[in-house]
Structure 1
């Protein structure tokens, strides 16, 4: 009877996930690093199955190098939604090949240190991602608002998945050295199952959250302006009153843009684009909204969208999907989630309760 290791099943499911995620992005550029992360994860799961399922020890020379590419891909996927790097794309990608190159060198000169090096790579990138996300969903200034909160949660899952993988690698290293690998196979199988769940959740959001085409000059201008604000704020303790006035003025400008121009209807609206419309740095916009409303920017913008959607559901016979696009949402899942979060019912229930039928 043919034996198929469980990691093979995981690899097949990951390829299916990749196909679905890539197909959803046919009309706009997807988050390439996140998509590549799925494929590399599938390859690593396949290599794991060959090594532990069929006892092919030679895979041990390849799998660590492949594993070393996972954290940089996760980091690049996150940074593409944050947009803080001023480095040329080729140089940025080149820098993140260093972990894989180091693993190759260690495989050649000191193989016993490879596992420790991998743990350091996974932990280091996980910490870097978590530091990126310390501002919450507002850190994702290039992610469209309708999916920013989902992308934020997915990124946190990704960071903790890297920490989980580091813990698994540490356990396997200790098991191989102290117990001759007695528990290694069981741990590897279980870890693959958990990793599949984590990656699936991350892909569901991250594959739909990508930066729309932006002019490089506009992104660079925003980077420089934000940097200037940060320098100014470092010495702003004695100007708290002026900051309050600045925040109030900024919030009024944002509110006016939302109410008079209905800027929230732009399906690709993100923090970077909103800041450029106002001519105000992104950090100043997010800080003003946070202080005035207690919400992050995506929640604030989506509140306008849901408010208009409620009105359209009540006063028109338009289909729910048409209303969803009209008010600025791109996906039904995000629309339904935000609608339920604000109204505690789905759009159909809202329309039924207010005397309208779909």
Structure 2
């Protein structure tokens, strides 16, 4: 009977995920190439694990560390593309991120015992860099639609967690090799690596749903003087007035950068002002307008909930229901029923 190791099965599932991600791409939402490449790298990594520990192919042990070293840079590059931020030119970016793999290649020839430590440092460094990149919260995802920003942000945190999980697993394996000659290494490698690959790939799939539209350009960060209350209040009032007059919140693809361009105020200034004045991020601020109109439509019309959801700017029912409950402590259907009963009692 043919024996198929679990990592090989995982590789097949990841390949299916890649096909789904490619087929989902369209003209309005260009593909996130680093994320697509990351899925393929995870497929290769799973195959290598399966060959090494399932079929005893020893030669892959020279390739696997190099492949592993490409994972953190791809995660970081994909997130940079998602949020529209990078501190290097494209050519320099490739050179910087290639250093990880080149370091492992060099260590393979000159100091193999240091490979495990180097991989741990690479994974931890990129995980920390990702967390620093998105420390402003969902407002860091300036090119992601507000309706998708929350899911993408949590997916980014899971991706950083997967990198840290891999680093912890590699550390345990290194210590196990030193102390027990690898008695528990197989279990940790199979369990930890597969868990990290699955978490990472699922996170990438979730982040892949939130991508900048064609033609979206990055606005330069401007450090504005918002130390005085007037500057904060004026910014918030300007955004609020624009929301009420133009109903821009109905745009399901509305992003922080797009909002900034339409209002004529830098994205960073809007984010800081709304956070200081309301204690909310911009996504929550925009969703207040969406839910407010949804409440009016539920009370005053007989439109289906799904139609109202799309009309006010939401794209998914789960996000709409979550935000509706957060702001009203009830569901859309319960709200409509309560308002209908209240209207009848007033007659």
TM-score (norm 2): 0.90
Report if the CA contact (8 A) 1:275-1:281 is conserved. yes
Query: Shift of the alpha carbon at 1:215?
Result: 4.7
Query: Shift of the alpha carbon at 1:76?
Result: 1.0
Query: Shift of the alpha carbon at 1:277?
Result: 1.5
Aligned residue in 1 for 2:16:
16
Report if the CA contact (8 A) 2:222-2:269 is conserved. no
Report if the CA contact (8 A) 2:52-2:60 is conserved. yes
Q: For the aligned residues, what is the CA RMSD?
A: 2.2
Query: Which residues of structure 2 form unaligned runs of 5+?
Result: 342-347
Q: Return closer, same or farther for 1:124/1:108 CA change in 2, 3 Å cut-off.
A: same
Query: Shift of the alpha carbon at 1:310?
Result: 2.5
Aligned residue in 1 for 2:71:
70
Q: Return closer, same or farther for 1:39/1:311 CA change in 2, 3 Å cut-off.
A: farther
Query: Shift of the alpha carbon at 1:352?
Result: 4.6
TM-score (norm 1): 0.87
SS in 2 for 1:181: coil
Report if the CA contact (8 A) 1:309-1:323 is conserved. yes
Aligned residue in 2 for 1:301:
286
Residues 1:340 and 2:341 are matched in the alignment: no
Residues 1:255 and 2:270 are matched in the alignment: no
SS in 2 for 1:134: coil
Aligned residue in 1 for 2:307:
322
The one-character-per-residue Cα deviations of 1:41-93 (angstroms, maximum 9, x if unpaired) are: 12211211111111111111111111111101111121123323254434423
Moved over 6 A (4+): none
Aligned residue in 2 for 1:162:
163
Aligned residue in 1 for 2:36:
35
SS in 1 for 2:160: helix
After TM superposition, list the pairs within 5 Å mapping 1:1-358 onto structure 2: 1-27=1-27, 28-85=29-86, 87-199=88-200, 201-216=202-217, 219=218, 222-223=219-220, 226-229=221-224, 240=227, 243-355=228-340
Q: Return closer, same or farther for 1:182/1:86 CA change in 2, 3 Å cut-off.
A: closer
Query: Shift of the alpha carbon at 1:197?
Result: 4.9
Query: Shift of the alpha carbon at 1:193?
Result: 4.4
Moved more, 276-285 or 155-164: 276-285
Report if the CA contact (8 A) 2:119-2:167 is conserved. yes
The one-character-per-residue Cα deviations of 1:272-299 (angstroms, maximum 9, x if unpaired) are: 1111222212221011111221111111
